[in-house]
Amino acid sequence: MIDERPIRTRYQAVRSSLNERGRRLHAAAEAVSAGHGGIAAASRATKVARSTISRGLKDLKEPGSLTGQVRRKGAGRPTVTAQDATLLGDLERLLEAATMGDPMRPLRWVSKSHEKLATALRGMGHKVSASTIPKLLERLDYRRHVNRKTKDGGQHPDRDAQFEPINAKARACQAAGQPVISVDTKKKELIGAFRNPGSDYGPKGKPVEVDVHDFEDKALGKVVPYGVYDVGANSGYVSLGIDHDTAQFAVNAMRLWLAKLGHERYPATPKVMVTADCGGSNGPRLRLWKVELQRLADETGLVFQVCHYPPGTSKWNKVEHRLFCHITQNWRATPLTSRLVVVDLIASTTTQTGLTVRCELDTNAYEKGIKVSDAELATLNLQRDAFHPDWNYTISPQNQEIER
């Protein structure tokens, strides 16, 4: 008579750590070690069916038959697609882009959630649950996606070629000890107890409470951060405007940067290289931008060499990913309750690579819709480059001849 107690004890000790195949092999090994009558004894002790132990004995005799799979091919119940041949096709039609808004589709103007897809399929006569949808989507090679920011205006044929003169001129200026600055306007921000995206640590159960709706507070208004990033010095200057984002405001931010940082850092420089994108208050088609640069050149005696990034590449502008992104990260989940709070948060922005930022409030009012005539534009001391003169040009003081 075989003593089943040791078999039961050993099996219970390892059962929780074994998968289906492991339990089968363990019971088969116990049956072999028990000798005659071992299959029956192992079955009683482990509660594993005799037929399962017999399959385990075959696996032990043929080690080559063992693979990474727990079950042999074909084991288990048929898949839902094997039972319902039209299920995948109907699901794929539901997922087509035309679904959103097609009045003939059962799934209209809704997100493609598992439950909604399952409900739509059941409405078409299929027996399917929401938990099955992820497996079907994987078979169709569908994945969850977030929006990707890549489209930014038209795709100009010379888009890539414009980077070469920008890089060449920037290297030449830096080699000569001349500043290269990247300029742009950051997103306007509402002042008040409004939600600021992101999360930060705080006491459990005590989130920062903000207004439900993001309606502008007329008394507090909004602010317009305009950034000037010194590429060589890894230093930023932000002029925080409270009025309109115009070309006058943009150039005045550069004027303030020169007065506060630029002249001290580059006391003998004859030229400043400016890189900007193709839109907003510093766009190449904006006449007032060039007029204001001419005024700044006359005031300072500096030459301004301007290069614009082509459409579709505004995120390549250094001020975007070396200054603005760190400001956003620094004030995440912090309501911008006052202008002083915004100034302090921007000015306290630092990085491990040594970024420093200075921020000051610009309380000037800037008029919108100022027109520049052809005659006024013709008076500018402006020299356009041979390659894409709309993107690359130089503005010099009126009493100074431009170097050819």
Residues 395 and 271 sit within 8 Å (Cβ to Cβ): no
Q: Are residues 24 and 99 in the same domain?
A: no
Dist CA 12 CA 234 (whole Å): 65
Token code pair at residue 222: 């909004």
State the pLDDT at residue 401. 62
3-class secondary-structure state, position 183: strand
End position of a domain, from candidates 65, 95, 117: 65
State the pLDDT at residue 204. 87
CATH number at residue 346: 3.30.420.10
Q: Are residues 20 and 86 in the same domain?
A: no
CA 50 distance to own-chain centroid: 57
Q: Are residues 128 and 261 in the same domain?
A: no
Q: Are residues 107 and 164 in the same domain?
A: no
- Within a domain: 204: no
Per DSSP, which regions of 220-324 are E strands? 222-230, 235-241, 271-276, 303-308
The predicted-structure confidence for 192-227, as pLDDT tens digits, reads as follows 999 999 988 888 888 899 999 989 999 999 999 999
> What residues contact residue 271 under an 8 Å CB cut-off, 6+ apart?
173, 178, 302, 303, 304, 305
Structural domain for 107, as ranges = 80-139
- Within a domain: 387: yes
Dist CA 130 CA 113 (whole Å): 9
Going from the C-alpha of 288 to that of each of 60, 223, 280, 368, 382, the distances in angstroms are 85, 22, 12, 11, 13
Q: Are residues 245 and 340 in the same domain?
A: yes
> What residues contact residue 181 under an 8 Å CB cut-off, 6+ apart?
228, 229, 230, 231, 254, 257, 272, 273, 274, 275
Going from the C-alpha of 182 to that of each of 162, 290, 323, the distances in angstroms are 16, 16, 10
The predicted-structure confidence for 250-284, as pLDDT tens digits, reads as follows 999 999 999 999 999 999 999 999 999 999 999 99
pTM of the model: 0.69
Q: Are residues 246 and 112 in the same domain?
A: no
Q: Are residues 358 and 224 in the same domain?
A: yes
- Given a cut of 50, whether residue 109 has pLDDT beyond it is no
- Within a domain: 178: yes
pLDDT tier, 248 (very low <50, low <70, confident <90, very high otherwise) = very high
> What residues contact residue 191 under an 8 Å CB cut-off, 6+ apart?
217, 220, 221, 222, 223, 336, 337, 338, 339, 342
State the pLDDT at residue 82. 86
Element (H, E) at 356: strand 356-362
